[in-house]
Structure 1
Amino acid sequence: MDSRVSDRKLRRELTTWDLLMLSLGGIIGSGWLFAAFGAATTAGPGSIFAWIIGGVIIIFIALVYAELGAMIPRSGAIVRYGHLSHGSFAGFVLGWAYFLSAVSVPAIEAEGVITYAASYSSKYGIVLLTNTGVMSVLGTFLAMLLMLGFFFLNYAGIKIMGKTNTGLTWWKFVIPTLTVILLLVVSFRPSNIIVGGIVPYGWAPVFSAVATSGIVFSYLGFRQGIDYGGEAKTPQRSIPLATVFSVLIGILLYTALQIVFIGGIDWGKLGLVPGSWAQIYSLATSNSNPEAVALYDAPFAHIAQAAGLVFLTYILFADAYISPSGTLNVYLGTSTRTLYGMAANGHMPKKLLEIMDKNRIPFIPLLATLLIGYIFFLPFPSWYKMVGFITSATAFTYIVGGAALMSLRRTAPELKRPFKLPYARVLSPIAFIGAGEVVYWSGWPLVLYLAIAIFLGFAVYFVLLLLGAIENSFTKENIKAGLWVPIFIIVLTVLSYIGDTSLGGIGVIKFPFDLVTVAVISFIFYMWSVRSGIRTEDITEMIESGSQYVFEESAREAVGK
């Protein structure tokens, strides 16, 4: 099936508000329930800066994708841009990495629900988490059942799924906002922010917290408005607005949540000297301090309970089902459209392009997403174990944004650009470098695991090739155009190994020189990536056939604007 034919079959039901709510719904998930704890125990009060740093990086990335998304609105769009700007080879590597990150999110959101439930189910003899903090057999079964329920919601169609998400997102926004206000009034201790120093462990853990504690992971939901772009009524206007405003709202909300979490810690109840942030995590994971364990399992609910806000505690436990479930719902759809996008690129069987006539959704990718998502429970059986992998995998795929934007401006200047990013020559390399830094901050050996997982994608590709499920699309031209991608993976892996010891490296390059080194090398790869971009056949066909916008109505609106 031709991808243009299948793209036209998708229902265009989503408004600007729906796209904003999809993006914001992706941002406010399990991250708001757990990331504040992970960031605080990594960097102490410095975690407040970590949220701002992570948010600024994501804003630069989001601005780049705002132009791309409005210019070429497609479902599964992010996996298609590298293919359009640099050819099939780069498109496959980046698409595979993006799929790994997207398909694992439903599993981590389900784990978030089970982790919160475990904090009170144990009182009734129901064991959902073991003493080591990983899910039990029962916990895993319930997480799988939860994913199955949202599989059927996505199966019902994009309109029902989108409107359901809008309602859930309102709840997901109101509850953390209410939490900020109440904890600020009732339990906030300003001394917690300055005791031991605002950055007690130095700046290296602050940057590490950006990547490994769930900060960037929490912001990654901005991509939903782009990935659902092919099902929007007015994508040229809706995608930029939804993308940028969702991140801005996320930065304000998450920074405020981190502040009230830091200020809400009662050191006396924990039995610790004020400022002993790193000890909280070790006590919780060793199961040697009940207060620390309760804080680990249900961070904000525990602080609310300690402050005497019983009603808020009940609301937070209810939200522990709703917020992650809403994000699970969104990402099942995102993963589905990622597989769909890879099939449109020719990297997956064309069977994945088939759209159901009744519900107008790609059913086979949806089913595959559910089954593959289940597999991630095996190597990453807890929320805190999975979040770093998802962050580094997604951040790596975002490097192509700046490269694709500037490459397409050079190779296809005649493409209509309803939103043209100002100062793109400055912002694009910043976005590229920022994504590279986030991958490096994930630390050793996590970057190694990411590299292995990405290169395993080639095995998948060649198996599909041998089975005749796909045709070989790797030509000499597009291999040359995309060679920078796998080499950059290897270089980042080496930098991670020789990097600062606080990030798991052997300390050959110490902080802050490691950050400068990564920035310089990333800029070199950025220049290589922009120069190696090519005018692909898909872009040429898109321009010559007038199919830049799949739907004629969208094309007329873009020209009119």
Structure 2
Amino acid sequence: MIEQDTFVKSTASDKRFRKELTTIDLLFLSLGGIIGSGWLFAAAGASMLAGPAAVLSWIIGGLIVLVIALVYAELGGMIPRSGAIVRYGQYSHGGLAGFLFGWAYFLSAVSVPAIEAEGVITYAGTYVKGLVTPTGVLTAVGILLAAILMLGFFFLNYFGIKVMGKTNTGMTWWKLIIPSATVALLLTVHFNIGNFFLKTGFVTYGWSSVFEAISVSGIVFSYLGFRQALDYGGEAKNPQRSVPIATILSVVIGIALYALLQVVFIGQVNWAAVGVAPGQWSALSGGVVTAPFATLASSAGLVFLSYFLFADAYVSPSGTLNVYLGTSQRTLYGLATLGYLGKSMSDVNRKHRVPILPLIASLVIGYIFFAPFPSWYKLVGFISSSTVFTYIVGGSALQVFRREASELKRPFRLKGASILSPIAFVGATLIVYWSGWPLVAYLVIAILIGLIVYAAFYLAGKSAINIFSGKHFKGGAWLLAYMGAITLLSYFGEKAYGGTGLIPFPWDFLVMILVAIGFYFWSVYSGFKTDEITEIIESGMQYLPSEEAAQAPAGKK
């Protein structure tokens, strides 16, 4: 059977990856994804949308992502694979759902290196003229420098996971220390707690803005790095233990750090210095927006800290760029191993033990995002919504696997999964909705364009799966209906989210929850024991050894 042959070939490719990564390496890969350009810009963006209540936006968004991460911790420990997230939809719901989720995930991953490079150049533009316009848009020179930066990290990924992983660990230590020091210093020097209690109110622009900030200001974008431990799970020494620990712990650390950073940002805004009336958060501009914490540190007299922050503006986004270039590479690899994109995309270089063609494709496609999204704030909403869209399947897949593959070992078994799984599904749906109209429509269109890409490979005879055949279409039909439903609800939803206001807040909130619950149960019902899961169960290939370990004599493994 062609699909089973594809699965066997993908397993052989999986074994070529080196098993080099420890629990700390995976944790730091996730933290490296979480602490990137988001910490440099998102606190300012969230404050402009929600005022002091932005602190609540970070906590609410973090808790939603934590529930999603808990669901994926069981999946990642149960079936650790490189490019894992793009595989779970395929394993639980077949080809149609698997491809659409995988394509959406690729769109989100491949665009992150571009936004991180934009973050570096945006900070540099505060003291190097000609890189960024006054509105924060990169000039031609700025885009060229961002492209060169991405090229440098292409080579780090090219030379293999050990070089890339250890480089990231060193960079992440820096990325943890600098934000933590920023919190400690700005909490004790000229901190104005009165900024939380101005006449404009704590919830300055209403509760709808608190939720909107979660999606479009960079909050969810900042948390999404937890997925790195999952995507690199196939290259871990002990994935059954390391993947769940790294996934959950990275989100917990991220929530604590980002909530504190938002607190110090609000308390450090000097209204006289920025030339804005107290409480007019939406009117913030200039250095407070383009270089937020560095500007605040200078205003507080902490000039030495501002120097470190400008330096960190290179390290933090660059480290995340490094991680996500590898992630997009593994995402294309994962799609290829599932039989969608042809054998050449799943070939792993025997010398460096990385898939080279997907790495090159990721770099080139990443460059394309500079054209429609030439600034950090323009790209962050698209990345957030497209990434969270792919997490919708997690809770559903977990329940399908418990029903159809109960015999698989689960080193981490999520307690209360029957409750947390639908919460994860609903939470992801709300985050996509909060990103607003017309961004939801753009996302759905971009995902559906993936079907054209698939059709090209299929008609060329390079795709091993007909995603519109009976079982694959039946398993994924709910997803097509789901995309249509959230598009319509976004259009008719709250005006603050760009909709017509036919369903205003908070009724839109209630309607989205009820619709999401309905689609959750449909998705769980639609899941089935796919050929891949059957093969994993029957062959005992739940945990894959490296090629060297598989070939070594029994006494030397």
- TM-score by length of structure 2 reads 0.96
Q: Helix, strand or coil for the counterpart of 1:121?
A: coil
Residue 173 of structure 1 deviates from its aligned partner by: 0.3
Aligned to 2:277: 273
Aligned to 2:110: 103
Aligned to 1:362: 355
Please give the residue correspondences for 1:44-123 in structure 2 after superposition, counting only pairs within 5 Å: 44-122=51-129
Aligned: 1:550 with 2:554: no
Aligned: 1:135 with 2:128: no
1:191-225 CA distances to partner (integer Å, 9 max, x unpaired)?
10111211011100000000000000000000000
1:92-123 CA distances to partner (integer Å, 9 max, x unpaired)?
0000000000000000000000000001102x
Q: Helix, strand or coil for the counterpart of 1:419?
A: coil
Residue 142 of structure 1 deviates from its aligned partner by: 0.2
Residue 469 of structure 1 deviates from its aligned partner by: 2.6
Q: Helix, strand or coil for the counterpart of 1:10?
A: coil
Amino acid at match of 1:391: S
Distance in structure 1 (CA, Å) of the matches to 2:82 and 2:52: 40
1:296-330 CA distances to partner (integer Å, 9 max, x unpaired)?
21000000111111100110000000000000000
Corresponding residue to 1:168 among 171, 183, 186: 171
Aligned to 1:352: 345
Corresponding residue to 2:231 among 204, 227, 231: 227
Distance in structure 1 (CA, Å) of the matches to 2:372 and 2:338: 29
Corresponding residue to 2:404 among 411, 415, 426: 411
Distance in structure 2 (CA, Å) of the matches to 1:398 and 1:244: 15
Aligned to 1:452: 445
Distance in structure 2 (CA, Å) of the matches to 1:532 and 1:111: 41
State whether residues 451 and 493 of structure 1, in contact with CA within 8 Å, keep that contact through their aligned partners in structure 2: yes
Distance in structure 1 (CA, Å) of the matches to 2:422 and 2:339: 29
Aligned: 1:477 with 2:480: no
Aligned to 1:13: 20
Distance in structure 1 (CA, Å) of the matches to 2:465 and 2:24: 40
Aligned to 1:193: 196
Distance in structure 1 (CA, Å) of the matches to 2:532 and 2:441: 33
Q: Percent identity between the aligned chains?
A: 60
Q: Helix, strand or coil for the counterpart of 2:125?
A: helix
Amino acid at match of 1:62: A
Corresponding residue to 1:264 among 258, 268, 275: 268
Gaps of 5+ in 2: 1-5, 551-557
Corresponding residue to 2:249 among 238, 245, 254: 245
Corresponding residue to 1:149 among 149, 152, 167: 152
Q: Helix, strand or coil for the counterpart of 1:13?
A: coil
Aligned: 1:541 with 2:548: no
Aligned to 2:219: 215
State whether residues 93 and 486 of structure 1, in contact with CA within 8 Å, keep that contact through their aligned partners in structure 2: no
Distance in structure 2 (CA, Å) of the matches to 1:142 and 1:468: 39
Amino acid at match of 1:96: W
Residue 278 of structure 1 deviates from its aligned partner by: 1.0
State whether residues 30 and 247 of structure 2, in contact with CA within 8 Å, keep that contact through their aligned partners in structure 1: yes
Aligned to 1:298: 291
Distance in structure 2 (CA, Å) of the matches to 1:459 and 1:491: 22
1:384-430 CA distances to partner (integer Å, 9 max, x unpaired)?
00000000001110000000000111111111111111010000000
Please give the residue correspondences for 1:324-363 in structure 2 after superposition, counting only pairs within 5 Å: 324-363=317-356
Distance in structure 1 (CA, Å) of the matches to 2:226 and 2:23: 13
State whether residues 440 and 496 of structure 1, in contact with CA within 8 Å, keep that contact through their aligned partners in structure 2: yes
Distance in structure 2 (CA, Å) of the matches to 1:349 and 1:30: 34
Amino acid at match of 1:72: I
Distance in structure 2 (CA, Å) of the matches to 1:472 and 1:409: 25
Structure 1: 4+ residue segments shifted above 4 A = none
Distance in structure 1 (CA, Å) of the matches to 2:20 and 2:136: 42
Aligned: 1:24 with 2:31: yes
Corresponding residue to 2:511 among 517, 520, 533: 517
Distance in structure 2 (CA, Å) of the matches to 1:107 and 1:473: 33
Aligned to 2:487: 493
Q: Helix, strand or coil for the counterpart of 1:357?
A: coil
Residue 468 of structure 1 deviates from its aligned partner by: 2.5
Aligned to 2:554: none
1:328-366 CA distances to partner (integer Å, 9 max, x unpaired)?
000001111100100011111211111111110111111
Residue 132 of structure 1 deviates from its aligned partner by: 3.5
State whether residues 95 and 465 of structure 2, in contact with CA within 8 Å, keep that contact through their aligned partners in structure 1: no
Amino acid at match of 2:371: L
Distance in structure 1 (CA, Å) of the matches to 2:387 and 2:230: 14
Report which stretch shifted further, 402-411 or 264-273.
Answer: 264-273
Q: Helix, strand or coil for the counterpart of 1:119?
A: coil
Aligned to 1:204: 208
Q: Helix, strand or coil for the counterpart of 2:126?
A: helix
- TM-score by length of structure 1 reads 0.95
State whether residues 302 and 313 of structure 1, in contact with CA within 8 Å, keep that contact through their aligned partners in structure 2: yes
Distance in structure 1 (CA, Å) of the matches to 2:461 and 2:472: 21
Aligned to 2:3: none
Amino acid at match of 1:425: S
Residue 131 of structure 1 deviates from its aligned partner by: 3.4
Residue 70 of structure 1 deviates from its aligned partner by: 0.3
State whether residues 39 and 222 of structure 2, in contact with CA within 8 Å, keep that contact through their aligned partners in structure 1: yes
Aligned: 1:382 with 2:344: no
Residue 472 of structure 1 deviates from its aligned partner by: 3.9
Q: Helix, strand or coil for the counterpart of 1:141?
A: helix
Corresponding residue to 1:422 among 395, 398, 415: 415
State whether residues 482 and 532 of structure 1, in contact with CA within 8 Å, keep that contact through their aligned partners in structure 2: yes
Residue 187 of structure 1 deviates from its aligned partner by: 2.5
State whether residues 76 and 244 of structure 2, in contact with CA within 8 Å, keep that contact through their aligned partners in structure 1: yes
1:26-57 CA distances to partner (integer Å, 9 max, x unpaired)?
00000000000100000000100000000000
Distance in structure 2 (CA, Å) of the matches to 1:410 and 1:347: 26
Distance in structure 2 (CA, Å) of the matches to 1:73 and 1:215: 27
Aligned to 2:553: none
Aligned to 1:288: none
Distance in structure 1 (CA, Å) of the matches to 2:190 and 2:106: 41
Aligned to 1:441: 434
Distance in structure 2 (CA, Å) of the matches to 1:367 and 1:266: 46
